[in-house]
Amino acid sequence: MWRWAVLLCGFAAALPGQQAQLIEELEAENKAYLRLLSDWGKLVHYGSDNAELRPDPNRVVFFGDDIFEKWEHFFPGKPYLNRGITHQATPQLLVRFRQDVISLKPKVVVIHAGANDFAGYAGPATEGTITENFMTMTELAKLHGIRVVLVSVTPICDCYEILSARRPPGRIIGLNGWLKGFAAKNGFVYADVYSVLAQGRNMRRELTVDGLIPNAAGYALMAPVIEAAIAKAAAQN
């Protein structure tokens, strides 16, 4: 709601033409909030697509946030389903885990999330709440015989705008350390895409479109890392 306060303050000082633009922005924000409240987990996003699917014993579900939904040239010809949703955080993923993962009966689920929790898109989040959501999702997958690949949170950079204020690199590194250890302890596969995208603690500028989302070159580096992890998970007993 801080965004509304900023817009309203701007409205009071704006010229008539600018006020019209601010009204449009407020109406757009209001519609976005209404959509969020009416379907917080965004269960309708892939609902109809899921209903049309036929069984596939080799199915792989990519489950996560912006990084998956915006994947350029997403594995053509592979039995992979993209079930990423932009701006989603781990509690929202947990809400739709049954619909968009369990009910699809995949052989492997590939999970990527965490950065939007840090950004506060679903409200305040601590490392404890984030890791608990990962624990619950992986426990559900294991219960239903679905192999798990946990993908590292991708790095960010302040190349185009300041992103590190909401997604501190230290928190990203900390969560990745937990994911790696958790995967090793529980027999899951960890896919370290962070290392192929990062230079130091930051996303390499030439691999991103905006400091957060990889570009085609970035995704090209991520793909073999994740495919190797899928193959390893699929071979598990």
Q: What is the pLDDT of residues 60-82, one digit of tens each?
A: 999 999 999 999 899 999 999 99
Asked if residue 127 and residue 19 are part of one domain, the reply reads no
Closest CA to 172 of 189, 155, 188, 184: 155
Domain count along the chain = 2
User: Token pair of 35, please?
Assistant: 């959509």
* Pairwise CA distance, residues 167 & 131, whole Å: 16
Phi, psi torsion values for 146, nearest 5 degrees: -100, 125
d(CA 171, CA 177): 10
DSSP string, 78-139: SSEEEEE-TT--HHHHHHTHHHHTGGG--SEEEEE--HHHHHTBTB---HHHHHHHHHHHHH
Q: pLDDT per residue over 165-186, tens digit each?
A: 999 999 999 999 999 999 999 9
pLDDT of 98: 97
Which domain range does residue 31 map to? 2-37
Higher pLDDT, 31 or 216: 216
Residue 99 and residue 14 share a domain: no
Structure tokens at 40: 């917080």
State the average pLDDT for the chain.
90
My answer on whether 10 and 93 are in the same domain is: no
Percentage of residues of the chain with pLDDT beyond 90 = 78
Residue 111: φ, ψ to 5°: -110, 130
Q: Say which CATH number the domain at 214 has.
A: 3.40.50.1110
CB 207 within 8 A of CB 218: yes
Amino acid at 155: P
* Cα 62 to Cα 8, 39, 117, 170, 231, distances in angstroms: 40, 21, 18, 25, 14
Q: What is the per-residue pLDDT for 201?
A: 96
Task: Please state the pTM of the whole predicted model.
Answer: 0.84
The type of residue at 135 is M
9 and 60 within one domain:
no
Residue 105, pLDDT above cutoff 60: yes
Compute the average pLDDT of residues 108-128: 95
Angstrom distance (rounded) from CA 99 to CA 95: 9
Task: Kindly state whether residues 123 and 6 are assigned to the same domain.
Answer: no
Q: Quick one: which of 235, 187, 195 has its CA closest to 218?
A: 195
Q: How much is the pLDDT for 43?
A: 85
Q: Which long-range contacts (CB under 8 A, 24 or more apart) does 158-163 make?
A: 158/202, 158/211, 159/203, 159/205, 159/208, 159/210, 159/211, 160/210, 160/211, 161/210, 161/211, 163/211, 163/212
> What would the two tokens of residue 153 be?
């949170």
Query: What are the two backbone dihedrals, phi and then psi, of residue 189, each rounded to the nearest 5 degrees?
Result: -105, 135
* 191 CB neighbour count, 10 Å cutoff: 24
Reported confidence tier of residue 2, pLDDT bands at 50, 70, 90: very low
Give the tens place of pLDDT for each residue, 136-170.
999 999 999 999 999 999 999 999 999 999 999 99
pLDDT at position 21, please?
A: 67
Both 103 and 25 in one domain: the answer is no
Same-domain status, 76 and 190: yes
- Could you tell me if 218 and 103 lie in one domain? yes
Q: Span 186-206, mean pLDDT?
A: 98
33 and 46 assigned to the same domain? no
Based on the fold, state whether residues 66 and 156 are members of the same structural domain.
yes
Tell whether the model's pLDDT for residue 6 goes beyond 50.
Answer: no
Say whether both 227 and 121 belong to one domain.
yes
pLDDT at 206 over 80: yes
Q: Do 62 and 25 share a structural domain?
A: no
